[in-house]
Structure 1
Amino acid sequence: MIKIRVLNPEDKKSFIKRIKFPGEEGNPFDRILRLLENINQIPTFLFFTLIILTAGVFSLFNIENWLLLVLFSLTDSLLVGLLPKLKISFGSYKSQVFLLFILRALFVWFSFPINLIFQIIGSLFVFYGFIKEPSDIKISTIYHNFPNVSSTLNFLHISDIHLEQPGIREIKLIQIVESRKPDFILYTGDFLNLSNIRNQASIENIIGFFNQIHSISPVYYVSGSPAVDVEDTIKIIEKNLNPIRLNNSNILLNLEGNLINIIGITCTHHPHLDMKHLPPLLQEGLLNILLYHSPDLIYELSVEERVDLILSGHTHGGQVRLPIIGAIFTGSLYGRKLQKGLYQIHNTLLYISRGIGLEGLGAPRVRFLCSPEIIEWKNNS
C-alpha cells in the first residue's frame, strides 16, 4: 500500500519576488548542467590527459593512489561508454566520468586495502545506477475510490520520457501499455532530453512513439518545463501528434456513462500565476483530474477548488535517493518537501511520478533507489 503524505496548507510560499524559477533556462541548476556539458566538448585525448594529471594532484602524486584513481576512472569510462550500445542513454560519457572522478577522489586517501574496497564498491554502484536501475521500469498500481464514478476505471499516468533515441525504456513502455490496455493514458510533460530539444530525429521519434501508444489507448497530455518542451518544438509535436494536448483546457470523457473531467494546465513554473486557469475548467459533481507538470501547484489550491486528483512529474523523484534521507535534490520550489509518490492537501490527492527518462546535458545519467515508473490507477468499485 502506498503511503499518503499529508501536506500542511500553511506551508504555502509566496514567489512574487522570486526571479529565477526551476524548469526555466538560466536557473542555478540549469547553469550547472550547461557548465558540465562543456566538459563533453573537450577532445578525448585532452580529457583523459586532464583526468590523469588531476588524479596526480588529488593523490599528491603518490604512485599507488594515483594509479588507483586513474584505473577506476577508466573503468567508469568503459561502463558509461556502454550506455549507448545498451540503448539506455546516448549522451557523452565525459561529464559523467568527471563527476564520478570527484566522488572517487574523496576516498583515495584511505589506507590500503580500504581505499581499494571503496573503489570496487563505487564500480558496483556505477553498474547498478547507470545500467541496471535506469533500464527497469516499475509499475505502481493504486486502487482508489474515485468519487462520482460507479464503473470500473483503469488509466495510466506517464511522465518525463526525455527521449534521446528510441531505447530500452521506450520498448518496455510500449510493452506495458499493450499488456495493460488502459481506458486512457495521461502524460504530464517533458518529451525530449535537454540535449535533444531541437534535434529533428528526436522530434520525429517522439511523435512516432506517442502515436504508437495512442493507437493502443487514447492519450491526453500537457507540456512540461519551458526549458525542455520549448515552444517551437512543442508546436511541431502538437501539430503531428494524434494524442490530444490540454493547453489550459479540459476534455470530458464518457466511460460507461460516467463523465470524467480531464484538465490540463500548461506549466510555466510560476504556480501562483498558472493557478488562474483552473477555476473555469472545474466541473462540479464530476471526477476532476488535473494534469500539471510540476507538483508545486498543489499549495495554490484552496479548499473550495474541488480537484480530486493532480498528476505531475518534473522531480524524477530526485533520481538519486538515499535510505532514510530520500532525494538529495528535487527541482521543486518547495525543495525536498515534494519528491515522489502520493500526497494530500484538503480533499485533493497529488501523485508525483518518478518519470521515465534522464534529464540530459551534463546531468547525471543515473538512477539510484528511484526506478523509472508508470502509475496504474484503478477504481476500487
Structure 2
Amino acid sequence: MTKIRVLNPEDKKSFVTRNKFPGEEGNPFDRILRHLQKINQISIFLFFILLFLSAGVFSLFNIENWLLLVLFSVTDSLIIGFLPKLKISFGPYKSQVLVLLFLRALFIWFSFPINLIFQILGSLLVFYGFIQEPSELRITTIYHKFPTVSSPFNFLHISDVHLEQPGIREKKLLRIVESRKPEFILFTGDFLNLSNIRDNKAIANIISIFNQINKISPIYYVSGSSAVDVEDTIKIIEKNLNPTRLNNSNILLNHGGNNINIIGITCTHQPHIDIKQLPPLLQEGHINILLYHSPDLVYELRREDRIDLMLSGHTHGGQVRLPIIGAIFTGSLYGRKLQKGLYQIHDTLLYISRGIGLEGLGAPRVRFLCSPEIIEWKINS
C-alpha cells in the first residue's frame, strides 16, 4: 500500500511579492549550476592542477591526507569519465569531481585508517550513486478507485526525461511502454537536460523517442520549467511531435465508458497566476486529471474544483535523499514539504514523480535512494 501524505490547505503561501521562482533561469539553484559549469570549460591540464592544489588546501598540505584525496579524486574522475561509455549519463566530469572532492575532504581528518575506510566507502557510494541507481528505471504501480469509474483502465505517468543522449534509461522506457501497452500516457514536462536545451541532436532524439512511444500508446503532455523546456525549443518539439500538447487546454477521452478530462496547465512556477487557467477547463461528471509540471499548484486547488488526480514532477524526489531526512533539496516553493510520491489535499490526489533523468550543467549526475521511475496507474471503480 502506497503511503498518502495529507496536506493542510492552511499551509498555502502567498508568492505575490516574490521575484525569483524555481525553474526560472537565474534562480539561486540555477546560478550555482551555471557557476559550476564554468569549471568544465578549463583545460584538462589546468583542471588537474586545480584538483591537486584544492586537495592540498583541504588537507592543509598534510602529505598523507593530501595524497589520499588526490588518489580517490582520480578514481572519481575515472568512474565519472566512463559513464558515457556505459550510456548512463553524458555530463562533463570536472565539476562533478570537484564537488566530490569537497565531500571527501569532510572526512579526511579522521585518524588513519578510519579516514582511509571513509574514502573507500566514498568510492563505493560514487559507484552506486553514479552508476547503479541512475540505471535502475523502476515501475511504481498504483491501484486507485474513483467513484465515477464504470470500468477499469490503466495509464502511465512519466516525467523529467532530461535527455542528454539516448542511453540506458531511454532504452528501458521504450521496453516498459511496449510491455505494458497502457491506454494512454501522461507526461509532465522537462524533455531535455539543462546542458542540451538547444542541442539540435538532442532535440531530434527526444522527438524520435516520443514519436516511437506514441505509436504504442497516445501521449498527452505539458511543457516543464521555462529554463529547461525553453520556448524556441518547445516550438520545434511541438511542431514535430505526434503526441498532443496541452497548453492551458484540455482533451476529453472515453475509455471503456469512462469520461476522462485531461487538463494541462503550462507551468510558469507562479502557481497563484497559473491557477487562473483552470476554471474554464473543468468538466463536471468527468474524471478530472490535471497535469502541471511543479507540484506547487496543489495548494491553489479548491475542493469545489473537483480535481480527482493531479500529476507533477520537477522535484526529482530530491535526486539525492538521506535516510530518515529524505530529500536535501527539491526546487519547490514549499521546500521539502513536497518531495515525491502520493499526497492528498481536499478530495484531490497528487502524485509527484521522481522523474527519469538527471540535473544538468555542472551538477553531479547522481541519484541516491531516489531511483528514476515510471508510474503505472490502474484505476478501478
Measured against the shorter chain, the TM-score band is over 0.9
Other-structure match for 1:254? 254
| 2:347 aligned with 1:347 | yes
* Displaced runs of 4 or more, over 6 A: none
Query: Match of 1:44, as an amino acid?
Result: I
| 2:30 aligned with 1:16 | no
Residues 128-167 of structure 1: pairs in structure 2 closer than 5 A: 128-167=128-167
Residues 235-314 of structure 1: pairs in structure 2 closer than 5 A: 235-314=235-314
CA contact (8 A) 1:147 1:287 kept: no
CA distance in 1, matches of 2:44, 2:91: 14
Q: Give the drift of 1:147.
A: 3.0
Query: Match of 1:373, as an amino acid?
Result: E
CA distance in 1, matches of 2:57, 2:74: 17
| Paired residue secondary structure (2:30) | helix
Query: Match of 1:181, as an amino acid?
Result: K
Measured on the aligned residues, the alpha-carbon RMSD in Å equals: 0.6
Q: Give the drift of 1:257.
A: 2.0
Residues 176-191 of structure 1: pairs in structure 2 closer than 5 A: 176-191=176-191
CA distance in 2, matches of 1:275, 1:57: 50
| 2:46 aligned with 1:31 | no
Once the two structures are superposed, what CA deviation does each residue of 1:274-308 show, in whole Å capped at 9, x if it has no partner? 00010110000110000000000000011111100
CA contact (8 A) 1:203 1:237 kept: yes
CA distance in 2, matches of 1:337, 1:127: 29
Query: Match of 2:3, as an amino acid?
Result: K
CA distance in 2, matches of 1:355, 1:28: 22
Once the two structures are superposed, what CA deviation does each residue of 1:251-291 show, in whole Å capped at 9, x if it has no partner? 00111222100000000000000000101100001100000
| Paired residue secondary structure (1:289) | strand
CA contact (8 A) 2:149 2:380 kept: no
CA contact (8 A) 1:136 1:372 kept: yes
Other-structure match for 2:324? 324
CA contact (8 A) 1:89 1:164 kept: yes
CA distance in 1, matches of 2:195, 2:343: 32
| 2:50 aligned with 1:50 | yes
Percent of residue pairs identical? 82
Residues 88-99 of structure 1: pairs in structure 2 closer than 5 A: 88-99=88-99
Other-structure match for 1:172? 172
| Paired residue secondary structure (1:85) | helix
CA contact (8 A) 1:223 1:234 kept: yes
CA distance in 2, matches of 1:258, 1:178: 24
Q: Give the drift of 1:61.
A: 1.8
Residues 214-229 of structure 1: pairs in structure 2 closer than 5 A: 214-229=214-229
Structure 1 portions without partners, runs of 5+: none
CA distance in 1, matches of 2:377, 2:8: 25
CA distance in 1, matches of 2:256, 2:110: 66
CA distance in 2, matches of 1:26, 1:143: 40
| Paired residue secondary structure (2:61) | coil
Q: Give the drift of 1:346.
A: 0.2
Query: Match of 1:91, as an amino acid?
Result: G
CA contact (8 A) 2:151 2:380 kept: no
CA distance in 2, matches of 1:16, 1:59: 46
Structure 2 portions without partners, runs of 5+: none
CA contact (8 A) 2:69 2:105 kept: yes
CA distance in 1, matches of 2:235, 2:118: 49
Query: Match of 2:378, as an amino acid?
Result: K
| 2:124 aligned with 1:121 | no
| Paired residue secondary structure (1:304) | helix
| Paired residue secondary structure (1:45) | helix
Q: Give the drift of 1:222.
A: 0.2
Q: Give the drift of 1:60.
A: 2.0
Residues 56-95 of structure 1: pairs in structure 2 closer than 5 A: 56-95=56-95
CA distance in 1, matches of 2:326, 2:174: 29
Query: Match of 1:6, as an amino acid?
Result: V
Once the two structures are superposed, what CA deviation does each residue of 1:25-79 show, in whole Å capped at 9, x if it has no partner? 0000000000000011111111011111121122222211111000000000001
| Paired residue secondary structure (1:68) | helix
CA distance in 2, matches of 1:321, 1:212: 33
CA distance in 2, matches of 1:44, 1:249: 49
| Paired residue secondary structure (1:82) | helix
Other-structure match for 2:377? 377
| Paired residue secondary structure (1:84) | helix
| 2:364 aligned with 1:359 | no
Once the two structures are superposed, what CA deviation does each residue of 1:1-21 show, in whole Å capped at 9, x if it has no partner? 110000000000000000000
State the TM-score, normalized to the length of structure 2.
Answer: 0.99
Other-structure match for 1:206? 206
| 2:5 aligned with 1:5 | yes
CA distance in 2, matches of 1:163, 1:43: 26
CA distance in 1, matches of 2:332, 2:303: 22
Once the two structures are superposed, what CA deviation does each residue of 1:83-120 show, in whole Å capped at 9, x if it has no partner? 10000111100010000000001111110000000000
CA contact (8 A) 2:153 2:256 kept: no
Other-structure match for 2:335? 335
CA distance in 2, matches of 1:56, 1:188: 45
| Paired residue secondary structure (2:303) | coil
